[in-house]
Amino acid sequence: MHTILLSLAQAASGSAPAPGGGQAQGPAGCAGAGGTQSLIFMVLMIAVFYFMLIRPQQKKAKDHQNFLGGLKKGDQVVTRGGMIGRITGVSDTTVTLEIQEKVRVRVLKSYIEGQHRDAAAAAPAPKDKDKDKEAKDEKPQPPATT
């Protein structure tokens, strides 16, 4: 039992005994190359994680903090819970939202997700192509003479 545990511990540490009782020998001249390659690989992985994950997340958090700092009375916002309301009061940590006429709710500033724009107000009104075409085709008629 002890020999099995001892061999597992040696295998986990990476120092397995070589046959014949001597030290394990790697390929000649490659003793430091494997360590340098793995170090370069680790540095590259850290750089990828920084530029792909950490930096964009920090930028997004900074933008959200700037947004929360710029909240003012009259802004229409949406909370993380999906509640839409117009700001009627702002303090250091809370915002008072009017979600319906004479219905006000206090919400923590940190739970404000973003600004809300009505779908009808945000999207331009669809143009009626037929009316535009008719307006272009109509030419002013000269006055009728009798």
Quick one: average pLDDT of 90-119?
A: 92
Q: State residue 136's pLDDT score.
A: 57
Higher pLDDT: 94 or 142? It is 94
Q: What is the mean pLDDT of the chain?
A: 78
Q: Cα(73)–Cα(95) distance, rounded to whole angstroms?
A: 9
| Lowest-confidence region among 24-28, 85-89, 105-109 | 24-28
- Please report, for residues 7, 39, 46, 62, 130, the alpha-carbon distance to residue 53 in angstroms, rounded to integers and kept in the order given: 40, 21, 10, 15, 50
Contact between 93 and 109 (Cβ < 8 Å): yes
Q: pLDDT tens digits for 21-78?
A: 555 554 554 555 678 899 999 999 999 999 999 999 999 999 999 999 999 999 999 9
Please check whether the domain covering 73-121 is classified as CATH 2.30.30: yes
Pairwise CA distance, residues 91 & 89, whole Å: 7
The residue with greater pLDDT, 130 or 40, is 40
Separation of alpha carbons 84 and 118, rounded Å: 10
The three-state secondary structure class of 84 is: strand
Backbone angles phi, psi at 19, to 5 degrees: -60, 135
Q: What is the pLDDT of residue 138?
A: 60
Alpha carbons 87 and 83: distance in angstroms, whole number: 12
